[in-house]
Amino acid sequence: MAINKLVSSIVATAVLACSASVSAATLKLSHNHDRNHPVHEAMQFMAKRAKELSGGSLNVRIYPDATLGSQRESTELLQIGALDMVKSNASELESFEPSYSAFNMPYLFRDRDHFYQVTMGAIGEKILASSEDKGFIGLTYYDAGSRNFYAAKPIQSPADLKGMKVRVQPSPTAVSMVEHMGASPTPLAYGELYTALDQGVVDSAENNITSFVTSRHGEVAKKFSFSEHAMIPDVLVISKITWDKLSADEQTALKQAARESSMEMKELWAASEDKNRKYAEEKMGVTFMSIDKTPFVKSVEPMYVALKKNNAELSVIVEEIRNTGV
């Protein structure tokens, strides 16, 4: 089905169901991973806790595999209230709410502890709240590890990226990062990437180990290089229209369930990276390579200089993030 037709049919169905959906407090949640991805499990936990904490009035129904549309399409449906919740990530949300671009700066977080201090602390909350005027509100973040390049050949330095077409998410910061590293960025939706890699439309992509395996990219890109160039949080967001229809108690219950599920995800994530790395090595024949990250770090330093010069507000947030916990 053509994508426009698909989207209009989803909108029609969802709009019809919309008033019923909220008055019965069944919240539809869309995301683009499969059921084996830990974020699906974390959100099942969230749904269970939301039901318990609201005394049964909140029911979250999860639609995986982008069946209700890509992340971008789902977020657009969310803005008009045709969908209740979406699990997206900071890269995708950047073009809806610029504050999210802070998280997309390369080599921003020192390690996982730093990532958790920021995302679960005051800065994280401020960014979640920042999109209210865009028609949605962030509820929580989910760990999505670090992102790394993969291709048919090893990528050990920016020199190896020269002349390569690298798929990026539709995020201006990701585009700029790949340009600074010397490659040609090709923005594509996640669901189109397997075929694009397989058919040579792009030469390389970048993601975390778990998504690399659950999306089967390891079948078509056998060299995975630990550039660890970004830790981009997944983000659970809710339509402002839906949020305003919930009672204050339901809002509190949902927010608490969401935060608890992020802590659940912390455990699930670490286990999933180990499991998926083993699977990729043993069943997909993927080689994982440690590399010297210094030349990659150096190649993107001008991005921080440019940010300071061109976007004082965002630069302050980025500095606050960098200074957290030091």
Tell me which residues touch ligand GCU (CB under 6 A). Answer: 32, 71, 88-89, 144, 169, 190, 207, 211, 234
CB-based contact 117:324 (threshold 8 Å):
yes
Which of 211/242 has CB closer to ligand GCU? Answer: 211
Beta-carbon contacts of residue 252 (< 8 Å; ≥ 6 apart): 53
Which of 236/291 has CB closer to ligand GCU? Answer: 236
Min separation Cβ 291 and ligand GCU, Å: 20
Min separation Cβ 106 and ligand GCU, Å: 15
Min separation Cβ 284 and ligand GCU, Å: 17
Min separation Cβ 279 and ligand GCU, Å: 16
Q: Residue 41 corresponds to which tokens in the numbers above?
A: 């499990």
Min separation Cβ 210 and ligand GCU, Å: 8
Which of 71/104 has CB closer to ligand GCU? Answer: 71
Distance of CA 208 to the CA centre of its chain: 10
**In this structure, what DSSP letter does residue 121 have?**
S
Which of 71/176 has CB closer to ligand GCU? Answer: 71
Beta-carbon contacts of residue 55 (< 8 Å; ≥ 6 apart): none
Beta-carbon contacts of residue 176 (< 8 Å; ≥ 6 apart): 303
CB-based contact 227:158 (threshold 8 Å):
no
Min separation Cβ 71 and ligand GCU, Å: 5
Exposed e or buried b per residue across 134-145, where buried means at least 16 C-beta atoms within 10 angstroms of its C-beta: bbbbbbbbbbbb
Which of 144/254 has CB closer to ligand GCU? Answer: 144
Which of 250/273 has CB closer to ligand GCU? Answer: 273
Three-class secondary structure of residue 284 per DSSP: coil
